[in-house]
C-alpha cells in the first residue's frame, strides 16, 4: 500500500477510491511486461496517466515515449503519421518521413482515442501487434519495430464492434489487459480532495488567497454528475479562483458554475434531448397509434374493394404487398410486428360484415382517448392552456383548435 501511495505522489494522482487504486495496481503489475494494454473510461478521467506509469516503471523507460491522439489526425494522413511514407508516395510528399512506430522503436506508443482509427489503419495496426511488422506508405519493403502499445478510448468498444466500426480481432489484441478508470461521480469521496488541490494550485499560480467552500457548496459539488469529470472540476476551480472576490464560496455561488445542475437524478434518455422524458414517450405513443390507424384504414379499403368487386385474387395480391410493406416499415422502426393472414375463403359480402365497422369504432376509440388526455391535462394544470399544451407535447395553437373542435 505504501508503494501505491508513492506511485500516486510521483505522478500527481489524488484520490483514495477503491476502483482508482485497483486500476493503478494493475498498471504497476503489468509494467514490467510487454503486454498490450487498453485503458477505458469516460472523457476527462485521466486515462493519459496510466501509459505514463506503465512506461516509467518498465524496462523501456530510457527509450522514447510517444503519445498520439488518433482522433485529431485526419483520416487521409494518419497512416503516414503512424507508419511513415516514401518520397513521392502522395501529393506533397517531397521527402521520405519516419512514422511514430519507427521513431519509437524500443519504446512505448500511447494511442489515445484508438476507437477513432479508420478500418484500413486498424488492419495495419493489427499486423504490428501480431508480428511487429509495418510498411511505409508508398513502399513495398517490410520493416520491423519493437514497441510497447498502450491504447485508450472513451467509446463502448463492444457497441463499436457490433456496428462494424472497430475490428474485433484488433480489440482482443489491444485489450490483453484492460484497465478501467471510474468516472468522477463514482469517486465522491475524492471530489473535495481534488477541488482543494486545484484551488491551492491556482492560488499559487495567480498569487491570490485560496478559495474555500462552505458546507452547502461542498454538498452541491459532491452531488453533481460531472459529465466532464476531473477536467471539468479543474476548470470550475480555476474559474472560481479567478472570478470570485469573496474567497469563501457559498452553495448559491458555486451553482452558477455547474451547468444543468440536476444532481444524480436518473436519466431515462440521453441528455441531448430538450424534451422531458414523458413528452418523448408520449410522442412515441402518438406515432404508434396513428401509424396503426393508417395501416388499419389501408387494410379496410382493400377488404371493402374485395367485398364489392368480388375479384379476390387481385385484392389478395394487393393485400399481401401492403402487409409486406407494413412489416418492413415496422421492422425498420424496431416495432414488434406479428403478421396475421386473413382466411383464404373470404369472398362473399357476408364474410366482410366486420369491415363496415372498423373505421367508425377505431376513430371513435382514438378520439375518446385524445379527449380524455386533453381533459386530464387541463384539469391537472387548472385550465392553463400553455402548461397543458407543453405537457401534451403539442403547440398551444393546436390545443386551442382541439378544444374548439371537441367543445371542451
CA-based angle 288:289:295, to the nearest 5? Answer: 90
Q: Are 148 and 188 in contact (CB under 8 A)?
A: no
Answer yes or no: is 262 within a domain. Answer: no
pLDDT for position 42: 96
Which of 182, 201, 229 is a domain's end point?
182
Q: Are 15 and 190 in contact (CB under 8 A)?
A: yes
pLDDT for position 342: 47
Tens digits of per-residue pLDDT, 84-98? 999 988 888 889 999
pLDDT for position 385: 81
Residues 104 and 144 reside in one and the same domain? yes
Question: Which CATH number covers residue 243?
Answer: 1.10.8.60
Q: What is the mean pLDDT of residues 383-407?
A: 79
Average pLDDT of every residue of the chain: 82
Neighbour count for residue 31 (Cβ, 10 Å)? 19
Which of 182, 206, 221 is a domain's end point?
182
Residues 391 and 328 reside in one and the same domain? yes
Residues 14 and 151 reside in one and the same domain? yes
Answer yes or no: is 342 within a domain. Answer: no
Tens digits of per-residue pLDDT, 261-313? 644 444 333 444 444 444 445 555 655 666 666 666 666 666 666 666 655 56
pLDDT for position 319: 60
Answer yes or no: is 99 within a domain. Answer: yes
Answer yes or no: is 264 within a domain. Answer: no
Which residue has better confidence, 358 or 296? 296
Residues 192 and 178 reside in one and the same domain? no
Q: Are 179 and 23 in contact (CB under 8 A)?
A: yes
Which residue has better confidence, 376 or 191? 191
Residues 143 and 197 reside in one and the same domain? no
- Structural domain span for residue 230: 185-255
Helix 188-206 crosses helix 215-222 at what angle (to 10 degrees)? 120
Answer yes or no: is 23 within a domain. Answer: yes
Residues 296 and 211 reside in one and the same domain? no
| % residues pLDDT > 90 (the chain) | 60
Write down the pTM of the prediction.
0.63
Question: Which has the minimum average pLDDT: 69-83, 174-188, 304-318, 330-344?
Answer: 330-344
Q: Is 167 helix (H, G, I), strand (E, B) or coil?
A: coil
Answer yes or no: is 24 within a domain. Answer: yes
Q: Which residues contact 21 (CB under 8 A, 6 or more apart)?
A: 4
Question: Which CATH number covers residue 36?
Answer: 3.40.50.300
Which of 182, 210, 238 is a domain's end point?
182
pLDDT for position 290: 62
Q: Are 323 and 295 in contact (CB under 8 A)?
A: no
Which residue has better confidence, 334 or 306? 306
Question: What b-and-e string marks burial along 102-114, b requiring 16 or more CB atoms within 10 Å of the CB?
Answer: bebbebbbbbbbb
Residues 142 and 10 reside in one and the same domain? yes
Q: What is the mean pLDDT of residues 141-165?
A: 95
Nearest to 154 by CA among 38, 238, 317, 49: 38
Residues 173 and 290 reside in one and the same domain? no
Answer yes or no: is 118 within a domain. Answer: yes
Answer yes or no: is 100 within a domain. Answer: yes
What pairing do the DSSP bridges indicate for beta strands 133-135 and 142-144? Answer: antiparallel
Work out the pLDDT band at 323, boundaries 50, 70, 90. low
Residues 34 and 136 reside in one and the same domain? yes
Q: What is the mean pLDDT of residues 133-147?
A: 95
Say how far residue 346 (Cα) sits from the centre of its chain. Answer: 52
Place of cell 500516486: 8
Q: Which residues contact 268 (CB under 8 A, 6 or more apart)?
A: 277
User: What total of structural domains would you count in the chain?
Assistant: 3
| % residues pLDDT > 70 (the chain) | 74
Residues 191 and 328 reside in one and the same domain? no
Residues 165 and 281 reside in one and the same domain? no
Tens digits of per-residue pLDDT, 186-234? 999 999 999 999 999 999 999 999 999 999 999 999 999 999 999 999 9
Residues 10 and 91 reside in one and the same domain? yes
Amino acid at each position: 500500500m505504501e508503494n501505491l501511495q508513492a506511485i500516486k505522489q510521483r505522478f500527481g494522482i489524488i484520490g483514495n477510491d477503491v476502483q482508482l487504486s485497483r486500476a493503478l495496481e494493475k498498471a504497476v503489475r503489468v509494467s514490467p511486461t510487454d503486454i498490450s494494454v487498453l485503458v477505458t473510461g469516460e472523457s476527462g478521467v485521466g486515462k493519459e496517466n496510466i501509459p505514463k506509469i506503465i512506461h516509467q516503471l518498465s524496462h523501456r523507460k530510457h527509450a522514447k515515449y510517444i503519445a498520439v491522439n488518433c482522433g485529431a489526425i485526419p483520416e487521409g494522413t494518419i497512416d503516414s503519421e503512424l507508419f511513415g511514407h516514401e518520397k513521392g508516395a502522395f501529393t506533397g510528399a517531397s521527402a521520405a518521413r519516419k512514422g511514430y512506430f519507427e521513431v519509437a522503436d524500443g519504446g512505448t506508443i500511447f494511442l489515445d482515442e484508438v476507437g477513432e482509427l479508420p478500418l484500413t489503419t486498424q488492419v495495419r495496426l493489427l499486423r504490428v501487434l501480431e508480428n511487429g511488422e509495418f510498411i511505409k506508405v508508398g513502399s513495398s519493403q517490410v520493416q520491423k519495430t519493437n514497441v510497447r502499445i498502450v491504447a485508450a478510448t472513451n467509446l463502448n468498444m463492444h457497441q463499436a464492434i457490433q456496428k462494424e466500426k472497430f475490428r474485433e480481432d484488433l480489440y482482443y489484441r489491444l485489450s490483453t489487459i484492460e484497465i478501467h478508470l471510474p468516472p468522477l461521480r463514482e469517486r465522491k469521496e475524492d471530489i473535495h480532495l481534488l477541488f482543494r488541490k486545484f484551488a491551492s494550485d491556482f492560488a499559487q499560480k495567480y498569487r491570490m488567497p485560496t478559495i474555500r467552500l462552505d458546507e452547502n457548496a461542498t454538498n452541491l459539488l459532491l452531488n453533481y454528475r460531472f459529465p466532464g469529470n476531473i477536467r471539468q472540476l479543474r476548470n470550475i476551480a480555476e474559474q472560481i479562483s479567478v472570478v470570485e472576490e469573496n474567497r469563501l464560496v457559498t452553495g448559491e455561488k458555486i451553482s452558477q458554475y455547474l451547468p444543468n445542475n440536476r444532481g444524480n437524478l436518473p436519466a431515462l434518455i440521453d441528455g441531448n434531448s430538450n424534451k422531458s422524458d414523458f413528452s418523448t414517450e408520449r410522442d412515441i405513443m402518438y406515432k404508434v397509434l396513428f401509424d396503426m390507424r393508417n395501416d388499419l384504414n389501408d387494410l379496410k379499403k382493400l377488404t371493402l374493394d374485395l367485398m364489392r368487386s368480388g375479384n379476390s385474387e387481385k385484392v389478395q395480391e394487393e393485400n399481401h404487398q401492403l402487409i409486406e410493406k407494413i412489416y418492413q416499415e415496422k421492422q425498420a422502426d424496431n416495432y414488434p410486428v406479428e403478421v396475421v393472414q386473413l382466411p383464404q375463403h373470404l369472398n362473399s359480402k357476408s364474410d366482410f360484415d366486420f369491415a363496415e365497422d372498423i373505421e367508425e369504432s377505431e376513430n371513435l376509440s382514438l378520439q375518446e382517448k385524445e379527449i380524455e388526455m386533453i381533459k386530464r391535462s387541463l384539469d391537472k394544470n387548472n385550465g392553463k392552456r400553455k402548461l397543458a399544451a407543453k405537457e401534451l407535447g403539442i403547440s398551444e395553437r393546436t390545443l386551442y383548435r382541439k378544444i374548439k373542435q371537441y367543445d371542451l
